Amino acid sequence: MSAFGFQISAVAGLARRGTLTTAHGTVETPAFMPVGTNATVKAMTPDALRETGAEMILANAYHLMLRPSAERVADLGGLHRFMNWPGPILTDSGGFQVMSLAKLRSIDNDGVTFRSHIDGSEHRLTPERAVQIQHLLDADVTMVFDECTPYPASAEQTATSMRLSMRWAERSKSAFTARRGYALFGIVQGGLYPELRAESATTLRKIGFDGYAVGGLAVGEGRETMLRVLDGTVPELPMDKPRYLMGVGRPDDILGAVKRGIDLFDCVLPTRSGRTAQAFTRTAMLNLRNAKHATETTPLDPDCRCTACRGFSRAYIHHLCKADEILAAILLTTHNLTFYQDFVRTLREGIAAGDFDSAIAGFPIAQETPSQGEATVPDSEDVMEKI
Ligand SMILES: [Zn+2]
């Protein structure tokens, strides 16, 4: 089994082309990780997922501890075996989901007690338990347990929250069992305050992690603000470790973050949009429920290699959406994930060739805001749970 590692093979400005090595295989970076919340990337078989070009996926410790439980997944051979995904898996520690989904939560210096959003049962997460759960799941990359700072928050609130997360990061490190090929990532917090972000990054570097995530962004602060935080935060992180921007995002967000030195991304957008009749194309977003697609014989994106674009017209997918057929979600999710993988592959090729801008010329959507397309991006949880 290979040791966990990160090799940078090319740079273009601050952007890096690299390879992440884990216990379950390698990942070419910059990389996009599809979100497999409940040990499934919704509407996708593992084979179909692999065909999109995905090499690493994200799963959620919070959801899996509630159902079917981390212990049961461990008894059944770990998450890779359970969901038949042999490749690398990163697990989110649960901090964000406890704050966004759980009911009646109470936080103290030791951890968080909350009630399940599924059946109301009471649970407790501490840094030690969150790390143990991710170990039971057999995650290649474990994330430290942190408090999700509300947005917006004052400098004082943000500082208190960030310092609690830093104490929890240290406890997460102590609780983590080092194994060959497995890694623990720290998470930089500090909201929109540059001095707090710097303090957080410095604290994490002193503790020492295998990789560093930037958390607490993409929570409503806007693209320019997010990129400004990255401008200040990324230079505070070690050059030779992977950097992960959690929960981001749209193609233009990913482009902006890669240009600032981020290597890893995850986001529900391509999968969630696929279940709400929306398709990313190189030029715009399409809403397949729109009547104008009813007679269009062209594929979703003529430059796309995916199953949906090779075999089906926009008119047919429009029909599936109108008839609420499951195949609509399958085809649109397949397409959107393929689009995202081809987009990050193009970024990798551009960095390697030292010609970043001409590489992405084929993706004008990444240079624009989604409001210039047909659809707006949905973000409600009920949409996420629709299928
Ligand atoms: Zn396609």
Task: Dump pLDDT digits (tens) for 83-124.
Answer: 999 999 999 999 888 888 887 789 999 999 999 999 999 999
Q: Give the type of residue at 332.
A: L
Between the CA of 294 and the centroid of ligand 1 the distance, in Å, is 18
Question: pLDDT at position 374, please?
Answer: 54
Cα(331) to centroid of ligand 1, in Å?
8
The yes-or-no answer on residue 92 being catalytic is yes
Element containing residue 10 per DSSP (H, E): strand 5-12
Q: Render pLDDT for 169-179 as a digit per residue (tens, 0 to 9).
A: 999 999 999 99
- pLDDT (0 to 100) of residue 368: 57
Distance from Cα 300 to the centre of ligand 1, integer Å: 6
Q: 279 CA to middle of ligand 1, Å?
A: 9
Rounded-to-integer distance, Cα 162 and Cα 158, Å: 6
Residues 6+ apart with CB under 8 A from 385: none
In the prediction, which pLDDT does 68 show? 98
Give the pTM: 0.95
In 3D space, the residue among 334, 223, 319, 224 whose CA is nearest the CA of residue 273 turns out to be 334
Q: How far is the CA of 285 from the centre of ligand 1 (A)?
A: 13
Sign of CA dihedral 332, 65, 1, 4: positive
The active-site residue out of 92, 140, 146, 342 is: 92
Alpha carbon of 265 to ligand 1 centroid (Å): 21
CA distance 301 to 160: 47
Q: How far apart are CA 87 and CA 287, in angstroms?
A: 32
Would residue 266 show up in a list of annotated catalytic residues for this protein?
A: yes
Q: What is the pLDDT of residue 369?
A: 53
Q: Is 330 helix (H, G, I), strand (E, B) or coil?
A: helix
Q: Which residues of the chain have pLDDT under 70?
A: 368-387
pLDDT of residue 358: 87
Helix, strand, coil fractions of the chain, as percent rounded to 5: 45, 20, 40
One of 210, 266, 301, 342 is an active-site residue; which one? Answer: 266
- Rounded to the nearest whole angstrom, what is the distance from the C-alpha of residue 369 to the centroid of ligand 1? 21
320: left (phi over 0), alpha (psi -120 to 50) or beta: alpha
Q: Give dist(CA 194, CA 192) in Å, integer.
A: 6
